[in-house]
């Protein structure tokens, strides 16, 4: 007998893939994992956001916006040359943005919500930390979606000199 458990994206990134693997192993079955593409990487790609970009972002971080048993996870501190991707966070967008501001994320930092990445009705909502909550209240939100925060959100949209001016002294070295 064969059983297939099909999950979207990468089941080992904030999914229950590891828990399900151990569950089936305890029952005497050795699972075979076929990797998928994580929305944390493919979503920004489909929105023309390079997670890293020379002179703008030298690293990226993938975070959950919702911890175990719907808890609020610890917010990573702001790093100017990092792009931060939040999965499973948009149902608590207002609280997430408040946590980001407390952690030092500047209000002018570009953010993009990528809704329904790769679907025919994919939509990107571009804003800043300071106005994303208002923008989403105005246009509505259609899950599923991810939040991408960082200067890389504008790396392909603006003149690089203009972006450097926004970053000022926080601009990472090339």
Same domain? For 13 and 86 the reply is: no
Going by their DSSP bridges, the two strands 123-128 and 145-149 should be labelled as unpaired
Same domain? For 21 and 83 the reply is: no
How many angstroms separate the CA atoms of 167 and 53, rounded?
14
**Contact (CB, 8 A) for 153 and 114:** no
Per the model's pLDDT, the better-predicted residue between 75 and 174 turns out to be: 75
Same domain? For 68 and 130 the reply is: yes
Q: State the Cα angle at 8 between 48 and 126, rounded to 5°.
A: 30
Domain that includes residue 24, residue range: 8-36
In a domain, 2, yes or no: no
pLDDT at 173: 44
* Of residues 100, 97, 122, 95, the one with CA closest to residue 39: 122
Least confident of 66-75, 102-111, 115-124, 148-157: 66-75
pLDDT at 87: 92
Please tell me the pTM assigned to this model.
0.84
Query: What is residue 81's DSSP assignment?
Result: T
pLDDT value at 101 more than 60: yes
């Amino acid at each position: 007998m064969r059983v297939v458990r099909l999950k979207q994206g990468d089941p080992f990134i904030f999914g229950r893939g590891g828990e399900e693997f151990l569950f089936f192993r305890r029952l005497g079955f050795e699972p075979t994992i076929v990797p998928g593409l994580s929305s944390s990487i493919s979503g920004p790609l489909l929105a023309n956001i390079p997670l890293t970009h020379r002179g703008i972002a030298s690293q990226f971080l993938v975070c959950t916006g919702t911890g175990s048993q719907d808890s609020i996870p610890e917010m990573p501190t702001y790093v100017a040359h990092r792009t931060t991707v939040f999965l499973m966070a948009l149902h608590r967008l207002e609280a997430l943005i408040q946590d980001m501001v407390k952690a030092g994320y500047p209000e002018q930092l570009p953010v993009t919500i990528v809704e329904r990445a790769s679907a025919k009705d994919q939509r990107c909502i571009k804003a800043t930390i300071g106005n994303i909550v208002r923008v989403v209240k105005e246009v509505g939100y259609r899950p599923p979606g991810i939040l991408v925060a960082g200067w890389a959100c504008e790396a392909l949209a603006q003149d690089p000199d203009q972006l450097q001016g926004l970053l000022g002294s926080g601009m990472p070295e090339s």
